[in-house]
Structure 1
Amino acid sequence: MIPVPRTAAIILAAGLGTRMRSALPKALHPLAGKPMVNHLLTACEQVFERIVVVVGPDMPALERAVTPHVTVMQVERLGTGHAARQAERLLRDFPGDVAVLYADNPLITVPTIRRLIGRRVEAGLALLGMRPADPGRYGRIVQDSSGDVSRIVEWADATATERTIGLCNAGVVCAPAADLFRWLGDVTNDNAKGEYYLTDIVALAVAEGKRVVAEEAAEAELAGANSRAELAQLEAGMQARMRAAAMASGATMTAPETVFLSWDTRLGQDVTIGPNVVFGPGVVVESGAEIRAFSHLEGCTVRSSAIIGPFARLRPGTEVGRNAHVGNFVELKAAMLGEGAKANHLSYLGDATVGARANIGAGTITCNYDGMNKHQTVIGAGVFVGSNTALVAPVRIGDRALLAAGSVITEDVSEDALAIARGHQVNKPGRGFKGKRPASQDLTDPPSLQRSVGIKEAI
């Protein structure tokens, strides 16, 4: 058996993303809430023992994003071959193979990388190829009668016959470190753009009598992003992959194409997700929970058998307990909703703790911000909060207390107490509309006219 060599990777990430019309380096544009380069790094970390990332000048955010991996700088952007060569001082003596990958190919999977490395063992140089539905202007991989790669021809230089070749170059290569850097040193910039191309090492390897092989991978894995439109296509591919994985793990999605997941979304078995649900970063949904349509979750935990939505928003720091209900147009922020508690309609609970089996009436809000600081509201177990209640924090509501509808609660409420905090109703007989409305005015008049004629006179 041929031993598998040790492996290292060079990730080219110095691109500016000019066609994206963005000040953000291309490698930092996010997919599913995580920079493209970090998706690729996640895969590479499972395969390579060393990783070097090539960055451009003035990219401190990119250098931080790829930590703890070492970076080298391509001061002048003189092509992909020139970029890869910047890692030579770190990897020239590496006792194994080095692969070169691209930060804007974030969907390459671990199995594909391993197949590339496996193919290199049987040849002097291995590269990745694909058969896109529309080959367009990709470089074509020209193979000899045995299927080995004889050369790569760019679309602009290809003959009409060569342009009919379906196997296209993806740019990813793998070779022994010593060979790779020797070939890179021999690459010239004798071309229209005056750049040093990584793909030129194929011709150099063939000229040395080295065998060059192409490992085919799915187009979806090797797609890149040079524009916002292509970035959107990558996002669609990433979302499709994550949805499929979630459903394979036991989650139900009634309209999966409308559900958007984050790279770190964790869904338990028998979770049900309705249409048009969005997961931001940091969401955990435990088994048996249901997320109903048009809900938005971020930085929160939903415990088992809880029901969220429809039209609910869970913001960072929120935890919804077992069997709890969060209903339509309810927003929670840094809130703990206890087991079996319910907030079913039109409420805001921020910086709050709600005890088990408490019921939050429609229109309830916690007034948690005084203009300078955030304050806590603590609602005990079994509390019933009547509709349209405002709880002015800091305030504590004891277990089993009852808050009357329409109250503004500014003081603590003891256990088992009834709290009523609202203005006293006054009824004044004969002060309504009778005798005060023009004969032409009826109840179909606009409210503004009703107010000006009726209510204003009654005050």
Structure 2
Amino acid sequence: MTNYAIILAAGKGTRMKSDLPKVLHKVAGISMVEHVFRSVGAIEPAKTVTIVGHKAELVEQVLAGQTDFARQTEQLGTGHAVMMAEPALEGLTGQTLVIAGDTPLITGESLKNLIDFHVNHKNIATILTAEAEDPFGYGRIVRNEQDEVLKIVEQKDASDFEKQIREINTGTYVFDNARLFEALKNINTDNAQGEYYITDVISIFRQNGEKVGAYTLKDFDESLGVNDRVALATAEEIMRRRINKEHMVNGVSFQDPASTYIDIDVEIAPEVRLEANVTLKGKSKIGRASHLTNGTYIVDSILGEHTVITNSMIEESEVADAVTIGPYAHIRPGSHLAQAVHVGNFVEVKGSSLGERTKAGHLTYIGNSEVGSDVNFGAGTITVNYDGQNKYKTLIGDNVFVGSNSTIIAPVSLGDNSLIGAGSTINKDVPADAIALGRGRQVNKEDYAKRLPHHPVNK
């Protein structure tokens, strides 16, 4: 049998109090609807239809080229949203998963188990359920002696006995595709909200004597639907625990997992050590046996093996093996640090490449520069790359020594083996093997200090 999927992503999410569509709020680095889409991929659907509505174009941008879209121009309930998928799925034979785009914690494994259960039990519909410690507010699953689902009872309609039921509806379903759209033609808006509810389809199947089943999640956390910022933070916390646990199982050491923040697409090799308050975002990759100390923040960057990053920030850059960075360094986008480079405290590198074993120990700015190997930057060195309108490049050869407190005004090149005297301002090319001095002449005025009121002689 063939699988299909419908992802409901049309809602505004009023309780989020946000201009952003609810399903685009992020959990562990990607939007909730992307989490759902990835999990849905586990059932290998022949066709996926994502129902969009509020700010549809934003949701379509995120999933462009990966799914069909159908627009729900009026928000008339879950049943109405599913109706929008009929043109894409009508006439197809198989089973269709219906899932909300605000359930980021659901796993692909659970969805595969749900589909298998549905097929093996020859159900017309199967509801994904969960056991809640406190089921208040959820729709309850009422079963018969054969374990088939009789109905879903909402909290406000439940009897005292039904309120004791802990099995709740998660809002995820599998239907026989053809019967789903046939039944949707028979639901109505005769309810307090004046909306079409997908749960009414379950009642129609039962009235027709058709088999409705329920598959219960092993982990209640997977059922979480995010409707407000509190639930969003809860989802983030649970997802972070999952991510960190997977990395620990794979050989990564955490000083304090609860205070380590890793996005879902980050890759970390074994033997890496992460101290507390480390943040790894985007598609960062951390090489084997690297050590990231407290406060390190890395975004969309690649780190080689045996790197040591001390309380520093790296953005959209590449760092080779055995590089040391920090403390308090900032590697800005577009930078490339070759093997065994050292970038020390209060050093900023932006859009630059540094060759092997090059060192900038402290208090230095390197911007829009191509730097060779075995270069030494003295403290306080600045590459002046911006004149207020345009950026210019500095070229520095191999084995160059730049003395402390030097200012290198681009565009300029420093040849191999050249030496820049401390305190120099350089605005002309320096040939290979040359020494460049760009200082003002020092003048000493004998005994002039005695003329100043604060001099001891005048007190």
Give the TM-score of the pair, scaled to structure 1.
0.87
1:389 aligned onto 2:387: no
Distance in 1, Cα, partners of 2:409 & 2:62: 41
The Cα of 1:76 is off from its aligned counterpart by: 0.8
Q: Structure 1: where are the runs of 5+ without partners?
A: 443-459
3-state SS of 1:244 partner? helix
- What is residue 150 of structure 1 aligned with on the other side? 150
Task: Output the amino acid matched with 2:264.
Answer: W
Cα deviation digits, residues 320-373 of structure 1 (max 9, x gap): 333333333333332323333333433333323333333333333332222222
Cα deviation digits, residues 383-410 of structure 1 (max 9, x gap): 3333333332223233333333333332
Distance in 2, Cα, partners of 1:358 & 1:438: 44
The 1:366/1:292 distance shift into structure 2, 3 A limit, reads: farther
Are the aligned partners of 1:325 and 1:341 in contact in 2 as well (CA < 8 Å)?
yes
The 1:13/1:394 distance shift into structure 2, 3 A limit, reads: same
- What is residue 86 of structure 1 aligned with on the other side? 84
Task: Output the amino acid matched with 2:247.
Answer: A
3-state SS of 1:15 partner? coil
Distance in 2, Cα, partners of 1:407 & 1:258: 45
The 1:57/1:356 distance shift into structure 2, 3 A limit, reads: same
- What is residue 177 of structure 2 aligned with on the other side? 177
Are the aligned partners of 1:296 and 1:313 in contact in 2 as well (CA < 8 Å)?
no
The farther-off stretch of 102-111 and 319-328 is 319-328
- What is residue 409 of structure 1 aligned with on the other side? 426
The 1:29/1:57 distance shift into structure 2, 3 A limit, reads: closer
- What is residue 306 of structure 2 aligned with on the other side? 305
3-state SS of 2:261 partner? coil
- What is residue 59 of structure 1 aligned with on the other side? 56
Q: Which stretches of structure 1, 4 residues or longer, exceed 6 Å deviation after superposition?
A: none
Cα deviation digits, residues 157-200 of structure 1 (max 9, x gap): 12233222222111000011011112222222221111111122
Distance in 1, Cα, partners of 2:215 & 2:417: 67
- What is residue 39 of structure 2 aligned with on the other side? 43
Distance in 2, Cα, partners of 1:348 & 1:116: 56
The 1:376/1:318 distance shift into structure 2, 3 A limit, reads: same
The Cα of 1:214 is off from its aligned counterpart by: 2.0
Task: Output the amino acid matched with 2:38.
Answer: T
Distance in 2, Cα, partners of 1:264 & 1:333: 25
- What is residue 350 of structure 2 aligned with on the other side? 333
1:17 aligned onto 2:13: yes
RMSD: 2.5
The Cα of 1:148 is off from its aligned counterpart by: 2.7
The farther-off stretch of 326-335 and 120-129 is 326-335
Q: Structure 2: where are the runs of 5+ without partners?
A: 312-327
Distance in 1, Cα, partners of 2:409 & 2:134: 61
Distance in 1, Cα, partners of 2:160 & 2:441: 89
Distance in 1, Cα, partners of 2:378 & 2:278: 25
Are the aligned partners of 2:38 and 2:108 in contact in 1 as well (CA < 8 Å)?
no
- What is residue 324 of structure 2 aligned with on the other side? none
Distance in 2, Cα, partners of 1:329 & 1:143: 65
- What is residue 451 of structure 1 aligned with on the other side? none
The Cα of 1:90 is off from its aligned counterpart by: 0.8
The Cα of 1:433 is off from its aligned counterpart by: 7.2
Cα deviation digits, residues 67-114 of structure 1 (max 9, x gap): 112111111101011101110111012221110111111222111110
Task: Output the amino acid matched with 1:339.
Answer: E
The Cα of 1:133 is off from its aligned counterpart by: 4.2
The 1:353/1:278 distance shift into structure 2, 3 A limit, reads: farther
Task: Output the amino acid matched with 1:244.
Answer: K
The 1:43/1:389 distance shift into structure 2, 3 A limit, reads: farther
- What is residue 278 of structure 1 aligned with on the other side? 279
3-state SS of 2:180 partner? helix
- What is residue 265 of structure 2 aligned with on the other side? 264
The farther-off stretch of 33-42 and 410-419 is 410-419
Q: How does 1:414-425 map to 2 (within 5 A)?
A: 414-425=431-442
Q: How does 1:181-330 map to 2 (within 5 A)?
A: 181-217=181-217, 218-310=219-311, 311-330=328-347
Task: Output the amino acid matched with 1:193.
Answer: Q
The 1:438/1:401 distance shift into structure 2, 3 A limit, reads: closer
Q: How does 1:67-78 map to 2 (within 5 A)?
A: 67-68=64-65, 69-78=67-76
Task: Output the amino acid matched with 2:252.
Answer: A
The Cα of 1:435 is off from its aligned counterpart by: 6.2
3-state SS of 1:45 partner? helix
Are the aligned partners of 1:319 and 1:336 in contact in 2 as well (CA < 8 Å)?
yes
1:120 aligned onto 2:118: yes
Give the TM-score of the pair, scaled to structure 2.
0.87
Q: How does 1:157-176 map to 2 (within 5 A)?
A: 157-176=157-176
3-state SS of 1:329 partner? strand
The farther-off stretch of 96-105 and 385-394 is 385-394
The 1:269/1:426 distance shift into structure 2, 3 A limit, reads: farther
Are the aligned partners of 2:373 and 2:397 in contact in 1 as well (CA < 8 Å)?
yes
Task: Output the amino acid matched with 1:89.
Answer: P
Distance in 2, Cα, partners of 1:385 & 1:132: 66
Task: Output the amino acid matched with 2:436.
Answer: A
Distance in 2, Cα, partners of 1:363 & 1:216: 63
The farther-off stretch of 200-209 and 17-26 is 200-209
The Cα of 1:421 is off from its aligned counterpart by: 2.7
Task: Output the amino acid matched with 1:378.
Answer: L
1:373 aligned onto 2:371: no
Task: Output the amino acid matched with 2:63.
Answer: V
The 1:80/1:410 distance shift into structure 2, 3 A limit, reads: same
3-state SS of 2:262 partner? coil
The 1:228/1:436 distance shift into structure 2, 3 A limit, reads: same
**Number of residue pairs matched by the alignment:** 437
The Cα of 1:434 is off from its aligned counterpart by: 7.8
Task: Output the amino acid matched with 2:409.
Answer: V
Are the aligned partners of 1:345 and 1:361 in contact in 2 as well (CA < 8 Å)?
yes
Cα deviation digits, residues 263-307 of structure 1 (max 9, x gap): 332222322222222233242222233322222222332222222
Percent identity over paired residues: 38
